[in-house]
A and B are shown apart, each in its own frame.
Chain A
Amino acid sequence: MAEIPDITARRAARNRWLLLMPALVILLVAASGPLLITLVYSFLSPGDYGGVEWQLSFDAWFNVFMQRDIFDDTLGWSDAHLSIFWRSVKLSALTTLACLAFGFPTAYFIATRPKKQRDLWMLLIIIPFWTNLLIRTFAILELIRNEGTVNTVLIALGIIDAPIQMLFTEFSILLGMVYVYLPLMVLPIYASMERFDFRLVEAGYDLYATQLQVLRRVILPLVKPGVIAGSILVFVPSLGAYVTPRVMGGGNQLMIGNLIELQFGQGRNWPLGAALSITLLAIVMVALLAYVRAAGNDEAHHG
């Protein structure tokens, strides 16, 4: 008797894997597999003209954070790499904070519109989100370059004589990243605010809370999951950003992504590039795991 469901179950399982097969093959060949090869490459020696020599070496990993002094052969921290890592983390954190400062009120504004208007306001956030990142970076570039709109207007008004150099600085990278990643902050915060029960705010005011107290003690704790999700969604791509720092930083202000690219171009050190990108991946994974745990804890608290 038990045999029939067993056969159907087995057939269902077989069918399931057959249906999954094409997607999994493509992803294994063009997404996961190459990551493993990258890991292998990070333990090899660099070839003279790019590529690798198949010879085991830990130099690449050593060089991620450390360097050997060329004169006295002493070990030391690799200042060049550390400063790029530091800039990446710093700019990503600042981007996240700025996106939160702008994105939270915007999400709140949309969530407090009449129901029928909300979708339209959200569409205004979603359109930039699906718009080419390069084009958006380029749009902000045109605004602040020396011959761009801001400088032209300021000169025409007689406020300044010579253009202000805004491009190719850390500030321009920050501005560019805030601009391109802002929608990623608004979307999840809005999602968690949409179902917010404003009777709770009313209760807060009835108990003589001030506006700020209502925001801090009532609204913020209840939309915290959205705030955390938004922060992760902004922080992670900022950390791995490549296009925005390349365009807005102009090759002077490198971030990790640009440092990685350099190893495959002029640097001709593929193993180091591989080790750096595995390092970046590890940092991102730690951030994502921290998020999953925080989100899980939150769910547990609210029952």
Chain B
Amino acid sequence: MAERVFDIRKQTGFTTIAFACFAMLYMPIILLVVYSFNAGTSIAIWEGFSWRWYASAWENEQVQEATLRSLVVALWASGISTTVAVLAALATTRTRRFRGQTAVFALINQPLMVPEIVTAVALLIFFAMIKVATGYTGLAYLILAHSAFCIPFAYLPIRARLQGMDLSLEQAAADLYATPFQVFRRVTLPQLWPGILAGAMLAFVISLDDVVITEFVKSAGQDTLPTYMLGQLRRVVTPEINAISTALLGISITMVIAYTLLSKFRK
């Protein structure tokens, strides 16, 4: 007689709920992707495989413009936020407590705590004042707003990487008469780059995905891809939206997997 093994980890029903959860998380996304290849105009009735909605999205001038704008803003915002986050991480990691530390951390993490809609209307008010005063209505507002809320996302992985680094190499370099800049350039930076890359990718994805703050800050005719999609939802939906979503999904998922691999690389 085989003895029935009593599994102490078992909780009745938990596995079922877990599988239901995974199904619930992925089914809508999978359907969204599948119907982006629909030959018909429906988002629920399958009429055969076709690339037509990708072609129509590709040729849609509004989509082209919005895509380009999204990429420009995301590149600037991730570049700026990562640069300042590296400097801030160097200043706040591996030091003793300093005066104003709590305030500095609160400021850096503010975009994570304040609801996006609150930041969005605050920026709308502030930038409206500046727009009236200067007459400038370009992309700089969006880039500035995105740079700000991307800072914590860039800062956290860089800081984590920096905390895990060995101080003795830098001390050795300093003992060998390297200037502080040389130490940074030749010793710190080469060890830090996986963190920097991870931070930059997170910032890029966060900027690319933003809807709320962009919706309030943008001037007329400055749609990014997400705000363009939000505007389209009111109309009759065709799988073209699915095609655009699938393309964006592809970028996000690639970035997440690359990010996960990078943080593994740390160990």
Which residues on A are within 8 Å of B, measured CB to CB?
Answer: 12-13, 15-17, 19-20, 22-24, 26-35, 37-38, 41, 51, 101-103, 105-106, 108-110, 112, 119, 123-128, 130-136, 138-143, 147-149, 151-152, 179, 182-183, 186, 198, 201-202, 205, 211, 215, 236-237, 239-240, 242-243, 246-247, 256-257, 260-261, 264, 270, 273-274, 277-278, 280-281, 284-285, 288
Contact across chains for B45 and A152 when beta carbons are under 8 A apart: yes
For B111, give its contact among A31, A51, A139 (CB under 8 Å).
A31
Q: How far is the CB of A238 from chain B (nearest CB, A)?
A: 10
Assuming the contacts A20-B91, A152-B44, asked whether A38 and B122 have C-beta atoms less than 8 A apart, the reply is yes
Asked if B118 and A281 sit within 8 Å, CB to CB, the answer is yes
**B128 within 8 Å of A by Cβ?**
yes
Assuming the contacts A31-B149, A112-B9, asked whether A242 and B116 have C-beta atoms less than 8 A apart, the reply is yes
Near A by CB (< 8 A), chain B positions 147-183 give 147-149, 151, 155
Q: Are A31 and B148 in contact (CB under 8 A)?
A: yes
| Distance of A237 Cα from B80 Cα, bound (Å) | 26
**Residue interface mask B205-225, A partner, CB < 8 A = 1:** 100110110001000000000
Main SS at interface, chain A: helix
Instruction: Please name all residues of chain A whose beta carbon is closer than 8 Å to the beta carbon of B145 when the two chains form the complex.
Output: 30
**A/B interface sample: 9 pairs, CB < 8 A:** A24-B88, A38-B121, A130-B259, A132-B209, A143-B27, A148-B44, A179-B24, A182-B24, A261-B216
Q: A39 CB to closest chain B CB, in angstroms?
A: 9
| Residue numbers in B under 8 Å from A15 (CB-CB) | 91
- 6 nearest interchain CB pairs? A240-B115, A109-B18, A34-B122, A30-B148, A139-B28, A19-B91
The number of A-B residue pairs with CB atoms under 8 Å apart is: 260
> For the complex, what is the distance from the CA of A24 to the CA of B98, rounded to whole Å?
16
In the complex, what residues of B have CB within 8 A of residue A38's CB?
118, 121-122, 125
B102 within 8 A of A: no
- For B237, what are the chain A residues with a Cβ–Cβ distance below 8 Å? 142
Q: How many residues of B contact A (CB 8 A)?
A: 90
Q: Is B31 a contact partner of A34 (Cβ separation < 8 A)?
A: no
Contact A26 B126 (CB under 8 A): no
The listed residue with most A CB atoms (<10 A of its CB), out of B92, B126, B208, is: B126
Contact status B107-A133, CB under 8 Å: no
Instruction: Give the distance in Å from the alpha carbon of A19 to the alpha carbon of B162 in the complex.
Output: 15
A31:B119 contact, CB within 8 angstroms: yes
Complex: A246 Cα to B117 Cα, angstroms? 12
Residues of B near A240 (CB, < 8 A) are: 115-118
A142 to B249, CA, bound (A): 16
CB atoms of A260 and B117 under 8 A apart: yes
B95: A residues at CB distance < 8 A:
12, 16
Contacting residues of chain B (209-267) with chain A, CB-CB under 8 angstroms: 209, 211-212, 216, 226, 229-230, 233, 237, 241-242, 245, 248-249, 252-253, 255-257, 259-260
User: Are B25 and A243 in touch, CB under 8 angstroms?
Assistant: no
Of B10, B22, B27, most buried by chain A (CB within 10 Å of CB) is B22
A38 and B129 CA atoms in complex are apart in Å by: 12
| CB–CB B28/A284 < 8 A | no
Q: Is A284 a contact of B115 with CB atoms below 8 Å?
A: yes
The A-contacting residues of B in range 7-30, CB under 8 angstroms, are: 8-15, 17-18, 20-22, 24-29
| Residues of A contacting B9 in the complex (Cβ-Cβ under 8 angstroms) | 112, 198, 201
| Bound complex: CA A109 to CA B209 (Å) | 30
User: Please, how many angstroms separate the alpha-carbon atoms of A239 and B118 in the complex?
Assistant: 11
Q: B247 to chain A: closest CB distance in Å? A: 10
* Chain A residues whose C-beta falls within 8 Å of the C-beta of B144 in the assembled complex: 26, 29-30
